[in-house]
Amino acid sequence: MARTKRTVCPSTETPRKRMASDLQELSVHVRFAASGETLVTLPLRPQMAVSKVRERVNRSLSLGLVVTSLLQGAGILSESARLGELASEGSEVNLDAVVTLETALCMVRPCAAGDLVDIVREEDRHRRHCDMSRAPSAAKAVAESLMAAAPDLESIQMIGGSNESGHGGQVIVIANPGSDALSACQKALALDDEDLEQEEEWIPGRRYAQAMPGRLLHLRFQERLELGFNRDDSEEAGEEDRVESQLQAATQIMCDKLSGHFKFDLGRGRSGPVIFSGFCEDGSIVGVLTSCVYT
């Protein structure tokens, strides 16, 4: 009886890919494609698709930073590709990310969105705002000038009145705000849209006689050069000379470098963040963030 030869078909998987697919977890290192700077390292399952990886990376980034595509080498990865197919040495996957900066609050000491205000989108509550290093260069230069002119902002009470009290201030930049200051502040603070009624669109350069319903007041910092950007004629300054001179210097810079000045708050007697600000020449918003507590 003739022997029947058994044909053995070799696996189409390489040993590297077989090993990766057998693992429960891969260590995924994601870098900025432009600079090579490490963005994040995540433990992820080999079966996860690139589209889901991108979502996970976005959730781990500072607010405003968005990964639009992932690359390996020079090629853009298919959204349907699996991590197990991309492992380079067993449990390691190295990816590059194309990242854009959307409307983002840039701070010298970034904090979580939920630390600034309660009514934030729940999925963003623990995400941190961007570092000032991410701010556009022209806006960052104005911010640095403000910090140099008023180095004691954090210890100066920014808001005071018969039924309200405030805290110190910090210089901020809102990158890529668009032309609508109201919407930009809401987005930058990650406010929950469902908890805010949408108000009339604010137009830069238009003078409002009073605050828009609960949100935005258009200002002229030129009228506050003696008192400071944070005070109007109805408020008595009463600060020591050092504080007064710093506020005056900061106000002068805001007059010289910013246009479309405004004050943003939550309105309706709600305690929370307050922004005194204006538009920089590059379209960014630069100003001072503080908070108001109603009593």
- Tokens 């995924």 — which residue? 28
Tell me what pLDDT residue 6 has.
45
Candidates 3.40.50.150, 3.40.50.2300, 3.40.50.1110, 3.40.1460.10; correct CATH number of 104-294? Answer: 3.40.1460.10
> Could you tell me which residue, 166 or 279, shows the higher pLDDT?
279
Cβ–Cβ < 8 Å for 227, 246: no
Which pTM does this prediction carry? Answer: 0.79
- Tokens 């110190």 — which residue? 168
Percentage of residues in the chain with pLDDT exceeding 70? 78
Rounded CA-CA distance 255/253 in Å is 5
Residue of 290, 291, 282, 279 lying closest to 255 (CA atoms): 279
- Interacting residues of 142 by C-beta distance below 8 A, sequence separation 6+: 253, 257, 258, 280, 286
Helix (H), strand (E) counts: the chain: 6, 14
Rounded CA-CA distance 224/233 in Å is 8
Q: Could you report the per-residue pLDDT of 121-135, keeping only the tens digit for each?
A: 888 999 999 999 999
Residue of 226, 293, 286 lying closest to 259 (CA atoms): 286
Q: Do domains 15-101 and 104-294 have the same CATH topology?
A: no
Confidence band of 213 (pLDDT split at 50, 70, 90):
very low
- Domain locations along the chain: 15-101, 104-294
Tell me what pLDDT residue 195 has.
52
Confidence band of 279 (pLDDT split at 50, 70, 90):
very high
Percentage of residues in the chain with pLDDT exceeding 90? 60
CATH 3.10.150.10 is held by the domain 15-101: no
Q: What is the mean pLDDT of residues 97-123?
A: 93
Tell me what pLDDT residue 271 has.
80
Name residue 215's amino acid. R
Name residue 211's amino acid. A
Q: Residue 285: count other Cβ atoms within 10 Å of its Cβ.
A: 28
